[in-house]
Chain A
Amino acid sequence: MLVSLITLYFLDFRGFLPQHFNFLAEIQFIPALLALNVGIIVALVMLTLIFGRIYCSSVCPMGIYQDVVAWLSKKFTKKKRYTYSKAKTVLRWSILAAVVIAFLFGFTFLLGLLDPYGAYGRMVTHLFRPAYLAGNNVLEAIFTSFGNYTFYKVAIYGLGLFSTIIALVTLLGIGLLAWRNGRTYCNTLCPVGTVLGFLSKFSIFKIQVDNDNCNSCGLCTMKCKASCLDAKNKKIDYSRCVTCFNCIESCNRNAIKYAPLLPRRKRIVDPMPAYSCDKPGKSVDSSKRRFLSATVLTAIATGNLIAQETVDKLLSKKEPKRQTPIAPPGAIDFDHLREKCISCHLCVSKCPSHVIKPAFLEYGLGGMMQPHLYFDHGFCNYDCTVCGDVCPTGALKPLTVEEKRQTQMGQVHFILENCIVYCDETSCGACSEHCPTQAVSMVPYKGALTIPQIDPSICVGCGGCESICPAIPYKAIYVEGLETQNRIEIKEEKAEEIEIEDFGF
């Protein structure tokens, strides 16, 4: 099943699944839309126009998640019936409108928040994946104690509280809705559901009630996860039907079927009222909440600042504070990232060097949960292009290795006061050891010592220097991000022709 594959693709850290399985993300509706992948968009639209919302029951991972939760709920609760309910037309079109308007203003964050694939990706990245890695580590401990080295230990890193909370809220929120009433999310919040729902009104294949055999017993309605089956009036709301076929399985009079309904014939089902884009709903009044959180944050920040200044005075060292975040290679510029990224966190999961992390406010409010680089656990490998290769929306453009090596995501900054060579007058050079372009090179200092010298113009911003700098408590070298990623040229140096004839000793 596609969902298991998508989930496994996010979880897979050993590369069992080939990298090009990222197509599982590329065939999702919103990523295809953002990537302007016309082929996929046309295919999905045609699929819906022919078969109805089959996407929602087979391709969309959030759909299957809800089905699993709903199935569990029916096993563990007494209440085993669904009921018919009216469509929440105003709600779902308002939400779609809000999402579209925010997107047109360049804020894809709202779309990313509600997109089922993006939300599912975050759930897997922040909740399932740590559990999967922990499970691996347990197995490693067991197998290794028997001398079997099939498994190796992996590190499990925290990826930011905000995104984890969002993932948890999503898991529990949508889970609760699914537990109680099946596919509520799909027919209220989900923008994909609203759009495909509109299209599936015109689908050729439809679930149809056979008026002659049907006695309105309501068995089908009790099984309808989307609450779209009105057994009394023998009508189905096609904008909400996710073609799960529970109804067909439940009918013991063969009075319901899934068959093509060609336009000329008399329609059996009553068409739902015409859709209209109502005014966007009132946004939640959060001014009080904002005031309170601002006060608390200011208090904490002030306390921290005072403590920091005290420490700084004692040490006469400067804390390197990154002012501009570093976007992953291929992001082109912050605007491009903000406009295209749905923060599905596939890049976060797949980065082999563990340098991508979801942002909180580093990009501002418009870029919450979008990826940025951090060098606590590694640096961006000079030869690696995985993030751009897997990104399904094109927010991170796929680059060749040569293009990646010429992409400047940030520039190096050196803090002399923190450097071990300057403070302790002993040799180091760790930063230059890691620099792939030698933007950081060692030049003669005092006596036999060498000290770092930087050339930011050829720095790619990989963070090799920053990640390895052993100076404590503050690093002496770090990378400042760039709002627009540049292309650098490295001058080719001619190799000297040197012949050695003697031993030299």
Chain B
Amino acid sequence: MDSDKWINVPCLKNHGGAQLTISMKNYMGIVWDRGYFHANDLQQCIADICTYEKRPVLNVVDAYRIMKTNGPRGKSPSDVVLAKGLFISQDIVAVDTAAANFFNQVRKIPVESVKHIVNAQALGLGTMDLDSLKIKRIKI
């Protein structure tokens, strides 16, 4: 909160309540009363908190080991997949959409069902239309 710039570094995980937890859900780390969020339309609250004036300069989605099922807590190693992915963007909506599409190769969770991403686009926080963006795809 007091820093000049900050970088958002979430992990890509399945989430029981929000469907997926990626960059936007990572904002929960600065929310004190998370119970309020859960009780008052979680998906909208997540989109709302991302409008906080100090935006991250970068969103770095760690998709190296992702949680496929039983997220975000998980109950056994079988919930985890070694995906070896990494997504970086200044556009929080875009990077979450990309990560969601990546996730769908492992388990089908349509990005439209991850309502907080849809809500964020409606708030003008970014775009879900990946084709309109310049994306560098690198395989190592």
Which residues of A are in contact with B by a Cβ distance under 8 Å? 420, 424, 426-430, 432-438, 441-442, 447-448, 450, 468, 470-472, 490, 492-496, 498, 500, 502-505
Residues of chain A lying within 8 A (CB to CB) of residue B104 = 504
Are A503's CB and B36's CB within 8 A?
no
A418 to B10, CA, bound (A): 32
**Contacting A426 at CB < 8 Å: which of B42, B85, B97?**
B42
Known: A441-B70, A450-B17. Contact between A500 and B43, CB under 8 A? no
Residues of chain B lying within 8 A (CB to CB) of residue A432 = 16-17, 73
Residues of chain B lying within 8 A (CB to CB) of residue A438 = 70, 73, 75
Known: A436-B75, A438-B73. Contact between A500 and B85, CB under 8 A? yes
Q: A430-B38, A433-B72, A496-B78 given. 4 additional CB < 8 A pairs?
A: A433-B15, A470-B35, A495-B78, A496-B81
Known: A429-B38, A430-B17, A470-B38. Contact between A505 and B102, CB under 8 A? yes
Are A433's CB and B77's CB within 8 A?
no
Residue B41 is within 8 A (CB to CB) of chain A in the complex: yes
A-B contact pairs, 30 of them (CB 8 A): A426-B41, A427-B19, A427-B42, A428-B17, A428-B39, A428-B42, A429-B15, A429-B16, A429-B17, A429-B38, A432-B17, A432-B73, A436-B73, A468-B35, A470-B36, A471-B39, A472-B39, A490-B76, A493-B78, A495-B77, A495-B80, A496-B78, A498-B82, A500-B81, A500-B85, A503-B85, A503-B137, A504-B98, A504-B105, A505-B130
Are B16's CB and A450's CB within 8 A?
yes
Most chain B CB within a 10 A radius of its CB, from A426, A471, A496, A505: A505
Shortest beta-carbon contacts, A-B, top 10? A429-B17, A442-B16, A470-B35, A448-B113, A432-B16, A505-B101, A470-B39, A429-B16, A493-B78, A426-B41
A502 to B104, CA, bound (A): 11
A209 to B82, CA, bound (A): 83
Residues of chain B lying within 8 A (CB to CB) of residue A427 = 17-19, 41-43, 115
A479 to B39, CA, bound (A): 20
A96 to B135, CA, bound (A): 83
The residues in B between 35 and 91 inclusive whose CB is less than 8 angstroms from any CB of A are 35-36, 38-44, 68, 70, 72-73, 75-78, 80-85
Residues of chain A lying within 8 A (CB to CB) of residue B101 = 503-505
Residues of chain B lying within 8 A (CB to CB) of residue A472 = 39
Known: A420-B38, A428-B42, A470-B39. Contact between A492 and B76, CB under 8 A? yes
Known: A426-B43, A503-B137. Contact between A493 and B76, CB under 8 A? yes
Residues of chain A lying within 8 A (CB to CB) of residue B73 = 432-436, 438
Residue B106 is within 8 A (CB to CB) of chain A in the complex: yes
A470 to B37, CA, bound (A): 9
Most chain A CB within a 10 A radius of its CB, from B16, B80, B97, B102: B16
Residues of chain A lying within 8 A (CB to CB) of residue B115 = 427, 448
Separation in Å of the A184 CB from the closest CB of chain B? 52
Separation in Å of the B83 CB from the closest CB of chain A? 5
Residues of chain B lying within 8 A (CB to CB) of residue A493 = 76, 78
The residues in B between 86 and 140 inclusive whose CB is less than 8 angstroms from any CB of A are 97-98, 101-106, 112-115, 130, 135, 137
A504 to B42, CA, bound (A): 27
Known: A441-B16, A470-B35, A492-B76. Contact between A503 and B41, CB under 8 A? no
A496 to B105, CA, bound (A): 14
A427 to B115, CA, bound (A): 9
A448 to B68, CA, bound (A): 17
Residues of chain B lying within 8 A (CB to CB) of residue A428 = 17, 38-39, 42
With CB as the reference atom, state the residue of chain B lying closest to A421.
B17
A428 to B18, CA, bound (A): 7
Residues of chain A lying within 8 A (CB to CB) of residue B38 = 420, 428-430, 470
**Contacting A448 at CB < 8 Å: which of B19, B85, B97, B106?**
B19
Residues of chain B lying within 8 A (CB to CB) of residue A502 = 105
Separation in Å of the A298 CB from the closest CB of chain B? 36
Known: A442-B16, A505-B101. Contact between A500 and B75, CB under 8 A? no
Residues of chain A lying within 8 A (CB to CB) of residue B17 = 427-430, 432-433, 442, 450
A433 to B97, CA, bound (A): 22
